[in-house]
Each structure stands twice: as structure tokens, then as C-alpha cells.
Amino acid sequence: MDVCQGLAALHERGIVHRDLKPHNVLLTESGNRAKLSDMGLCKQLVPEQSSFESHHGPGGSSGWQAPEQLIARDGGAARQSRSMDVFSLGCILYYCMTGGRHPFGDNHYERDARILRGDPVLPPLAAAGAEAFNLVSSCLAREPLRRPAVGAILAHPLWWGDERRLGFLVDISDRVENEDREPDTSLLAAMEAYAGVALSGPGSEAPDGSAPAAGLSAALSAALSSSAISNWGACLPPELVANLGRYRRYDYTSLRDLLRVVRNKRNHFREMPPTLQAMLGPLPAGFLRFFVGRFPCLLLAVYVFALQHLADEPTLQQYWGDGGSGAEPFVRTFMTSYGNRIRPIKVGQQQQQQQQQQQQAGTALTETIAPGGASAVAVANAGGEEPARNTAASPAAAAPPTSSATAATVASASAAAAGADSQFCRVSRGEGVS
């Protein structure tokens, strides 16, 4: 982070470093801060200037130069800009995240050729997480215009703390909560299109698909492509699923409903049973780890969705660098990596049209009250979460609240969550209510 901030300070002053590499990053005596050094090859841009010719040589050191520097070194015509520093920064970040490995291979003689081809060795980076993979891969783009600006790099969720990450997921959940009641449900459909990535399990942090990215082996691609989860309820402990069913009905294939769980349980964490608090807590680190450990691409997928569809939302401006415009390379890299998984998995176009026609005709969606009438709703809602909202068939009548019924709730909830063949996993809410 210190290196990124140092480079941002240079670029804000119109200075291009031109020789970034691990050897030019110095650590303070305490080891807690990093400083950029060796400014001998820096180039000062004049006001309104964004690039320059290579009259004074390409700059940089072999193995750490951007493609345009290598082209200039061999006498080719290639303008240089701040973007060359971003490429070298990507090399440094890769080096740090992989324990000293080089993004273009361990063979010194082949590195420059791989850089010119745009052929990084990406698999080792997957262990650093989906956000790291997205950021570093974007920095290593062959074309200068496809790399992010340093301001966007600093705003990337890779650098966010636990509280900020969790707050972002909650804010997005708040924003899309009632989209199913709008005449135009296209925003909700767009979010659900990302479910194939967001609901992927561990091992999906790197790209998948029938068209592997450069540097990604076919074996790794095949392994990652099998990690998509069609039913997120099956990934949660049965005790939590049973607790969820007391307050509302969730669609376990829906990305919006998973975000609802994150939001509701975070907002009502203190009201959960002590066993669930211990399982999900503490806030924010333990809580966030509970969900992203099961869905490691959740944050990145929601981030890219929001960049594409909610970048102008006033309440979300705190999460974007440069108003979100400089983050386009992150979206492009995401689509290149996971594009084969971006597909609607919940609501078909015909069903959307039927819903819109019903709303336009003034047909109200049926709200089914929980079994037992208003008093049962009040008891179920005593924990502070909103009562279950049901637009499907009414559940069976509630069984009397007994200890055996409570145990049955956990069992039935677990079985419902595991039923991946059903689009909607229904959990009886009447059992266990006292």
C-alpha cells in the first residue's frame, strides 16, 4: 500500500518514475513502511502532457519494464506514460504476494519475450485471493490504456479493511432490497447474473471457463470451473439455516438473498442466540470471514456489479476512486476472467415480463402472513428482523412449539438447503416459535 501511495504522489505531480522494481523499494528500520527510491530515470511531464517520446532511452530494468519500454529499447515507436509505472507496480505486487516469484516466469531469458506477448504466469497469484488476482492482472495488461490509474488502484477493495468490506455488502443489499417491487426489475436481474461468480466456492478465485486466460493451464481451468455453487444454503450450518427460516423465506439460489442474510445478521447480531454469535463472530472480522471463506468471490463480484450499474449512486461514492471511471480495467479483467459464469440463474425473461405486466395492471403481489396469524408474526419478529415475506405457496400449518419441533426445524432446514434440484428451498417458520 505504501508503494502505491508513493507512486500516486509522484503521478499527481506529473512525475513518471520509469524504473520501479523490488530493488528500488526500501523499508524503514522498523520494517513497517516502504519508500520508493532511485529517481534517476524520472521524467517530469509538463502541464496537460500525458505521454512522451523515448528520446532519453526507454528507462527501466530488464524483467521489470512495460511492453512499451521494451519496444522503445529495440528502436520501435512507442510513447511512454504513467501507465508504464502501473505495469511495473503490478510486477512488484505479484512479487510480494507470491513469495518472491516473477509474474512472467523464473527464466530470466524468457521474461522480456513473455512481457511483449502479454503472457503472465497467473496461477500462483490465485492463492492471494480474488481481489488480488483482479487488481494485479489488470496492472499487467499489455496495452497501456487497459491498465488502471493509480487512483483507482488505491480505491480497489483489495485494500479495504473488514469494516469497509462488510459495510459495502450491506449498502448494496439495502440498495437492491425492494427492486422486485419496481415496475422495471432489470437491476435485480443484472445482479442475479453475477450469482454464478459470487456464489462460487473456495478454489474459484482465479479464472475458469472454456477459454482459459493466458498463463492459466487447462487443468486449473477445469478444476475451477467445477466450483460453482447453485444452492448457497447448503454451504451454511444447519443451525443458521434454521434460524433464517424463523423470520423470512429465502431463495437459496439468489445472490440478493445471500446479501440479505449478511445484512440482517450483521444488523441484528446481538439478538442472535449465543451459539450463532460464536459461530459467526466476532464483528466485523470473524463475521466477514465466515461468509467470504465460503464464497471467496462474493465481494469482487458485487463490487464489479455495482461499478457497472450503480456507479452514480450518491450513497456509494465513498467506495469509488475517481468516481469509478478509472476502475474500468478492473471490470474488463473480471469479465475476461469470469465472463463464462455471468448468466441469469434465477428469473427468466418471460417471468420478468409477466411480473411487469401484473404490476402495470395494478395486481398486488400476495403477502402471506406467517402461520398463526398476526400474533405469530409478532413473536417471530421479536428478534428485530422483518417477518417472512412469501410470494409462493403458503407453508403448512405450524406444529406446536416443542423441543422436538425445534430439533426438527434444524433437520428440515438442513434438508431444504441441500435440495439443489429445487429452485426455492422452503423452511417451515412455524416450528420452534414460542
Query: Where exactly are the structural domains of the chain?
Result: 2-121, 161-360
Beta bridge partner(s), residue 81: 51
Q: How far apart are CA 118 and CA 136, in angstroms?
A: 13
pLDDT given for residue 189 in this prediction: 93
Q: Are 81 and 11 in contact (CB under 8 A)?
A: no
User: Which residue has cell 475517481?
Assistant: 322
The H-assigned helical ranges of 100-149 are 108-117, 130-139
The model carries a pTM of 0.76
Sequence-separated (6 or more) residues with CB below 8 Å from residue 142 = 67, 117, 118
User: Which residue has cell 450499474?
Assistant: 309
In a 10 Å sphere around its CB, with 0-12 CB exposed, 13-18 middle and 19+ buried, how is residue 277 labelled? middle
- Please state the CATH superfamily assignment of the domain spanning residues 161-360 in this structure: KEN domain (1.20.1440.180)
pLDDT given for residue 205 in this prediction: 60
- Please state the CATH superfamily assignment of the domain spanning residues 2-121 in this structure: Transferase(Phosphotransferase) domain 1 (1.10.510.10)
pLDDT given for residue 361 in this prediction: 54
Find out whether the peptide bond into 395 is cis, omega within 30 degrees of 0.
no
With a cut of 60, say whether residue 271 has pLDDT above it.
yes
pLDDT given for residue 18 in this prediction: 87
Provide the pLDDT confidence category of residue 183 given band limits of 50, 70 and 90. Answer: very high
pLDDT given for residue 247 in this prediction: 81
Of residues 160, 145, 181, 97, the one with CA closest to residue 303: 160
Q: At what angle do helices 130-139 and 83-97 cross, to 10 degrees?
A: 140
Least confident of 10-24, 38-52, 146-160, 295-309: 38-52
Alpha carbon distance, N-terminus to C-terminus of the chain: 52
The H-assigned helical ranges of 246-297 are 255-267, 274-280, 285-292
Sequence-separated (6 or more) residues with CB below 8 Å from residue 414 = 238, 241, 242
Calculate the CA 285 to chain-centre distance: 17
The segment with the largest mean pLDDT, out of 142-146, 214-218, 222-226, is 142-146
pLDDT higher for 376 or 169?
Answer: 169
Amino acid identity of residue 144, one-letter, is P
Q: Are 21 and 92 in contact (CB under 8 A)?
A: yes
Provide the mean pLDDT of the chain. Answer: 77
pLDDT given for residue 66 in this prediction: 92
Provide the pLDDT confidence category of residue 48 given band limits of 50, 70 and 90. Answer: low
pLDDT given for residue 203 in this prediction: 65
Helix (H/G/I), strand (E/B), else coil: 134:
helix
In the predicted model, what is the mean pLDDT of residues 345-364?
Answer: 51
pLDDT given for residue 51 in this prediction: 56
Q: How far apart are CA 20 and CA 35, in angstroms?
A: 11
Q: How far apart are CA 70 and CA 429, in angstroms?
A: 65
Provide the pLDDT confidence category of residue 32 given band limits of 50, 70 and 90. Answer: confident
Least confident of 110-124, 326-340, 350-364: 350-364
Least confident of 198-212, 269-283, 310-324, 383-397: 383-397
In sequence order, what DSSP letters do the residues of 201-230 get, joined into one string? -TT-SS--SSSPPTT--HHHHHHHHT-B-S
pLDDT given for residue 80 in this prediction: 79
Beta-sheet strands, E only, within 193-352: none
pLDDT given for residue 400 in this prediction: 35
Q: How far apart are CA 416 and CA 233, in angstroms?
A: 8
Q: Are 208 and 225 in contact (CB under 8 A)?
A: yes
Q: At what angle do helices 403-418 and 238-245 cross, to 10 degrees?
A: 100
pLDDT higher for 391 or 169?
Answer: 169
CB-side exposure of 36: number of CA atoms within 13 Å?
26
Give the Cα-Cα-Cα angle 326, 81, 85 (nearest 5 degrees): 75
Of residues 205, 165, 172, 208, the one with CA closest to residue 190: 172
* C-alpha distances in Å from residue 194, one per residue of 253, 307, 334, 419: 11, 13, 11, 21
Grid cell in block for residue 410: 434444524
With a cut of 80, say whether residue 332 has pLDDT above it.
yes
Q: What's the chain's length in residues?
A: 434
Give me the active site residues, please: 19
Provide the pLDDT confidence category of residue 366 given band limits of 50, 70 and 90. Answer: very low
Provide the pLDDT confidence category of residue 57 given band limits of 50, 70 and 90. Answer: low
Q: For the chain, what percent of residues have pLDDT higher than 90? A: 53
With a cut of 70, say whether residue 422 has pLDDT above it.
no
Give the Cα-Cα-Cα angle 135, 7, 83 (nearest 5 degrees): 60
Least confident of 38-42, 181-185, 237-241, 373-377: 373-377
With a cut of 90, say whether residue 322 has pLDDT above it.
no
In the predicted model, what is the mean pLDDT of residues 408-419?
Answer: 45
Provide the pLDDT confidence category of residue 383 given band limits of 50, 70 and 90. Answer: very low
Beta bridge partner(s), residue 200: 228
pLDDT given for residue 365 in this prediction: 36
Provide the pLDDT confidence category of residue 262 given band limits of 50, 70 and 90. Answer: very high
Amino acid identity of residue 187, one-letter, is L
Provide the pLDDT confidence category of residue 339 given band limits of 50, 70 and 90. Answer: confident
